Structures are given as C-alpha cells and as structure tokens.
Amino acid sequence: MNSSPVMIVVLVIAVIAFAAIAFGISRKRRSQRLRERFGPEYDRVVRREGDVRKGEGVLEFRERRRQKFEIRRLSPADRSSFLSHWNDVQSRFVDDPKSSVTQADSLVTEAMQARGYPMGDFEQRAGDISVDHPSVVENYRAAHAIALRHSRGQASTEDLRQAMVHYRTLFQELLDEPQSNRRSA
C-alpha cells in the first residue's frame, strides 16, 4: 500500500477532528450531568469560580469527597428525638425567635452529623450537603446568612421567621420525613 503524504495529512486531520468532537461531546455530557445533579448550585459555583471548567471541577471534587462518607439513615428513635426537638424549637419561636433560630441552626448541624456528614466550617458543610440535597442547599445558605445577621443584631423577626422556614426545609430532608407529617413554622 502506497501512502502519499497528502493521505497521511488528511488522516491526521480526521483523527484530530474526531478527537476534538469526542472531547466536546464528553465535556457537554459532563456539564449536563452536573447541571442535572446540582441544579441552582451548579450555577452558583460556576459564577463564584468565574469559569465553567473550574466550577465543574469543584462540583466533581465534592462528589468524590462525598463518596468517602458513610451517610446513614437515622434510626426511628433518633428520627423521633430530632423531630421532637424540632417541634419544641419551632413552638418556642413565637416567644423567643432569636433563640429559636440559634437552636434550629444547631439542630440542623446535629442532624447532619448524626447522618454521617463531617463537621467542618459552614462552607464545607454546605458543599458536602449539596451533593445529596442540591435542591435545599440554597435554603441552608440563606438561613445561615440570616443567622449571621442575627448574631450582629441586624435581623428582623420576619428575617428570623424566614430563617426557620429555610432550616426546616433542610431539616425535613435530613430526616427523610414523609410530606404528610411536616408542620409549618
């Protein structure tokens, strides 16, 4: 078989083009998978990182980190205890909203720890929880922001009520509570 230099160049160009197309398709699938998995958190991370590739790298790192955890369901007794504590905190909100928000934050953190999530700083906890609960991590962030404003004396009672609603959303997911048993704040 006699290969001319033109045929070799055409073949090399075809291989490079095929590789580029395959790479593009792979990146698109990766982006689509991460968008579907993380929802609004995908956009938040990409925006924060300032680059799609970096943002997707952060999300993939979260997935790999999460695979190392032993996340477990709560036992019925633990679940019942957490739910009872939550109902107490929620019922005290009318008389002491400031304390209730602080206790709600602590209770969410305790539930995360009981489920097997490691306890790092807030951003690490939010990142970890975003892998399993991407639809509510923004609620967690919003509640935490209000709690921080509250600690500086800058949150109104309505802000604190909103924080309780946000905490409750994540808390219910952590407890895997059926929709019919949920109470509102």
Q: What are phi and psi of 152, to 5 degrees?
A: -100, 5
How many domains would you assign to the chain? 2
Q: What pLDDT is stored for residue 141 in this prediction?
A: 94
Same domain for 38 and 97, yes or no, is no
User: Do 82 and 31 share a structural domain?
Assistant: no
Rounded CA separation 116/112 (Å): 6
Q: Identify whether residues 36 and 11 lie together within a single domain.
A: yes
Closest CA to 123 of 101, 145, 108, 102: 145
**Of 17, 37, 67, which marks where a domain is finished?**
67
Tokens of 38: 């993380």
Using CB atoms within 10 A of its CB, is residue 69 exposed (0-12), middle (13-18) or buried (19+)? middle
Average pLDDT per 10 consecutive residues for the chain, totaling 185 residues: 77 83 80 92 94 95 94 94 97 95 95 93 93 92 94 94 96 70 39
Q: Are residues 59 and 125 in the same domain?
A: no
Domain that holds residue 22: 5-67
Global pTM reads 0.77
Within this chain, do residues 49 and 102 fall inside the same structural domain, yes or no? no
Statement to judge: residues 150 and 80 lie in one domain:
yes
Q: Give the pLDDT of residue 179.
A: 35
End-of-domain residue from the set 36, 67, 98: 67
